[in-house]
Amino acid sequence: MNLIANKNISVFAAVLVTAFIATGAIAQVTSTRSSGRSSSTPAEAAQAEARIRQISDDSGRYFKQGLYNLQDNRRSQARDDFNKSVEVFLMSGVNVQRNNKLRECYNQLIETVYRMEFPSSQRPVNIRGLSAICGWEIKSELADSIASIVAKGGVANSPANIASTGSATNGDADELEDVVGFSDQSFEASPLDELSKLVLNEDETNVDTPELRQEYEVIRIAGNNRSLGFSFQMHRLVQQYLNYYRGRGRRTMEVGLYRSGFFMTMARRIFREEGVPENVAWLGQVESAWKPTAKSWAAAAGLWQFIPGTGNRYGLRRTAYIDERQSFEKATRASARYLKFLANRYGGNWELAMAGYNCGEGNVDRAIRRAGSRNFWAAYPYLPRETRNYVPNILATIIIANNPHRYGFGHVRPAPRLQYDRVRVPSSTTLGLIAQASNTSVQYLRYLNPELRSNVTPPEPYVVRIPAGRANNVVAILRNGRAVDDNNGRLASTSKGETWTNISRKTGVSVADLKAANPGMMTPKGRVYVPVKGNGIAATSYSRPAGNSITPTLTVKGIVVVKAKSGETVSKLAERFGVDAGDVAKLNGLIPTSKLHGGREVRIPAK
């Protein structure tokens, strides 16, 4: 998730991420403190305090605007607003990490955006907490509304949600647009396209200072000693890229270091298993900025930017149903194997292997022949321009990633590792059904399974990724539904005490058909399979008869539905009806301290 676009900033994905949203980071600013006692005057202190308030207020204004856009289902605008909210901190010129108030506000903002793009029942989005920490006045009604949207997957009446009934979208993956949390998922420009045009400026090419000469020597020794897991030859151009990332390329590095948290644990493991130095996996940051949907002008796609031919060569299928170049694990393993092949081809020289990964072994072979040496820097003048930028860029990225504090990136907190379960489903299973079974959205499943080219799995048993901790539920539900057509059914959530008769009234499906669709289930528990005929059934809801707010609106066996008073909490409502607050909270997916809207229908245990 990506709040930070290739040229811009994204929390999540900041998650996003982190979350949230596409990405997050904090600008590094030179400290204004001297080595001795502070010499700030009261006027300067007041001015600094006003600047801090201004940063917080500006960020809060964009954040609240994003909440309203998300509430109105304008996800693209919401994404942009959340990006701007984060950018206020990054562009402020203030060292956020050295100011307690800004640091706490910024960190909570990143966490909140991440939780919105990647919803988790274990760690729900806490907009009220963010409001309190940052001093933003966010209405309780708005915070609760967004929390409800996020709990449902962040989609409200979206075209993608409507499509989740199983109708496949256009078979051309290039035209697919889906939603992750509140943001649109589509192909994004690969950072390689910009890298090929990059020209270092005069400040970046200046490496002739005593401090930089000392830095050069330290890195040279590390390269010779294989301190980073492989040997490499230090060169002035590598140091120039270090200068670039400490200057105008800072945001690009911050975004990459943040997003690396999603995938680096997996990448390190797979590279290690394939016998490739783990640090070489940082190649993924330069290739895609860790975006599974990245695509270059050359039709290279995925985290590791395989073109169709090379992807096919390493077992990545590309059919009308899937494009495994965008798979997390399969493409990562293919990347490691290709790099291992290239390193073996060039006698263990990983610089030449990286070059070959970018421009193909044919170009590297020709450059070596012209240079008369199997040395990257000797072959450098004969390589394509993009490749000449590519290799020193990766080396600089690896150096920074292994010592972020040294280069001014110690403040960047990598996003949480992307966690998921894997479940084998029957052929041609709709993501709508899997989403219901795993209590998530079709859009989030599309994010977890970017290799799928439509909302239906391939016509073969297929392994899909689902939110972590939900595999057993999905397997149980799919097994229960074997008596019906998998693509012709829905799932319904049940409450304690509900009966087949009650569910039949709500869905319009006979008790006999419900029992047949859920073999072995004597009474409805959890999520039950509801067979659907035709194009689907109309959703039904409990009626809302007029009357006193404390009058129950519906009674089911063991359950009473009542209306809350304005400003009432779950605990106060439970006390009013003489029931346990914990039971009420559990029945309604809330916590005892949750504040309720006036008129909200709440389930409570019947006496």
Give the separation between CA 421 and CA 415, rounded to whole angstroms: 19
Evaluate whether 584 touches 593 at the Cβ level (below 8 Å).
Answer: no
What is the Rg, in whole angstroms, of the alpha carbon atoms belonging to the chain? 27
| Residues 510/470, Cβ–Cβ less than 8 Å | no
At 299, list the tokens. Answer: 């039709």
Distance CA 106, CA 222 (A): 35
Find all residues with CB under 8 Å of 456, minimum gap 6, and list them.
166, 168, 321, 428, 429, 430, 431
Active site residue 202: no
227, 191 Cβ separation under 8 angstroms: no
Exposed e or buried b per residue across 183-222, where buried means at least 16 C-beta atoms within 10 angstroms of its C-beta:
bebebbbbbbbebbeeebeeebeebeeeebeebbeebbeb
Q: Give CA–CA dist 128/499, Å, rounded.
A: 37
Phi, psi (deg, nearest 5) at residue 158: -80, 150
- Largest separation between any pair of C-alpha atoms in the chain: 91
Beta bridge mates, 563: 601
Tokens of 327: 């798979």
Could you report how far apart the first and last alpha carbons of the chain are, in Å? 46
Catalytic residue among 111, 215, 287, 361: 287
Question: Is 445:164 a contact under the CB 8 Å cutoff?
Answer: no
Tokens, residue 12: 């999540």
Cα–Cα distance measured from residue 514 to residue 504, given in angstroms and rounded to the nearest whole number: 8
- DSSP-derived letter for residue 578 is T
Nearest alpha-carbon partner for 241 in 211, 198, 208, 280: 198
Dig out the tokens for 478 from the structure: 């799919």
Write out the catalytic residue numbers: 287
